[in-house]
A and B are shown apart, each in its own frame.
Chain A
């Protein structure tokens, strides 16, 4: 046995010897930075930790966990994936087939109380206006030279809804999944930093001080009819969005109908957690260095931030219009909660309202536009899919 030859073979088969591109090292460092953001700075840790770790293990040379070449092209050979794919290739089937985003939406639906929105349906207009950023970013992406399908995927970051962004991107521009998902979740975590300056700039102190009337109680019957009706109406208008909105409303129905508590509990906890793990690792692993470290990623990061800002502006402007029309009874701050990051955007409205007037409690009022935003961004995604899909 030749020791030198053995050691040489060992070295040549190691990841160190195959670390041939500096960009691989950059990806490993980037993954560690994202882990820092998730663990230490607590930026959407439930997702960012998984995404960062997925990036890390997929960036290690010869790990053979993920094979991006299997997923390129117009059709995927699932026989090949099952026979030759690595662990993350198998996880990624759930992303590619759209299973994970839909199941996440089911969990979100089971955790969401649409009561504040049903009690004050006018708040849905703010949820619609807060989708402005989607279309502004889409247009700006076209200006920057992105194709229509990629621009649509970038624009959806402005919806502040991770599963929707992943669902649309995997359908329209799967090669951009990693930067778009990372941008979407990072900015959702940064909402308490992004929104307040815009909110203060666009509203007067008098507007921020407005105390809103208490919401009426919503009956159980209304809460049961709501998810069924939304599914029928929305999915008839935009059938492409049925998998997302259908699952969202199924989750909500399980919660509200009162006879499926066990299922509701499973969807909210066990299923949601399992899917979150699989989704985050799969998405992180798609951040392959030769696709991720490009000028396009920087553009996406910029456009995503712009989209978030414009969505906030859209919600606030309609909030100001409703403030005027209602004779000063609606606090325009709740408009910014129309971006669908639930419930963080509503909390930001509450915090800013309380800063202007410590006796102000906007949380429940802001939940109306907030959950409307979830429906609004899903509708916007369905529209973009219908156009480019």
Chain B
């Protein structure tokens, strides 16, 4: 039985080590179980494979001024129309706004973006 280096502890180090390993394994096991549960739930509920919405993440903002959008994906807040704004700038602006508002991007609706010329 290994004792604490500085004495005083009521627990042997080898017991502590075992407890660490078991504890970490339990955390992994519970989260892994939840992970598989989510994967199964997504398949059953039908969420998996749903196309991401244009405004749901910055990279998705790439298509500029889409002409006639098809039916929007679930959770989407719609398309954003870009006027004289490149995709990269638009994506960055949306990410900044979401970050500042502390809201997920798919809960914020960006209607259009115009570059204001001074």
- A positions within 8 Å CB-CB of B: 111, 113, 115-118, 121-122, 124-125, 127-129, 131-132, 134-136, 138-139, 142-148, 151, 211, 214-222, 225-226, 229-230, 233-234, 237-238, 343, 347, 350, 359, 361, 363-364, 367, 372, 375-376, 379-380, 383-384, 387
Contacts and interface: CB of A to CB of B under 8 A. Distances in A.
A379 B33 CA distance: 13
Given A151-B11, A222-B42, A211 B59 contact: yes
Interface string B35-73: 111110110011111111100111110000000000001
Given A139-B20, A361-B59, A379 B26 contact: yes
A101 to B, nearest CB: 19
A125 B28 contact: yes
Contacts of A226: 38, 41
Contact of B23 (A125, A375, A380): A380
A111 B49 CA distance: 26
A244 B11 CA distance: 27
B32 A128 contact: yes
Nearest to B87: A359
B54 to A, nearest CB: 10
Interface string B6-23: 111111010011011111
A363 B92 CA distance: 12
Contacts, number: 183
A-B pairs, 10 with minimum CB distance: A145-B6, A145-B8, A135-B20, A217-B75, A148-B11, A121-B38, A121-B35, A128-B31, A361-B58, A142-B16
B52 A217 contact: yes
A122 B32 CA distance: 8
A347 B99 contact: yes
Given A121-B42, A124-B35, 6 more contacts: A124-B32, A124-B34, A125-B31, A135-B21, A145-B9, A216-B51
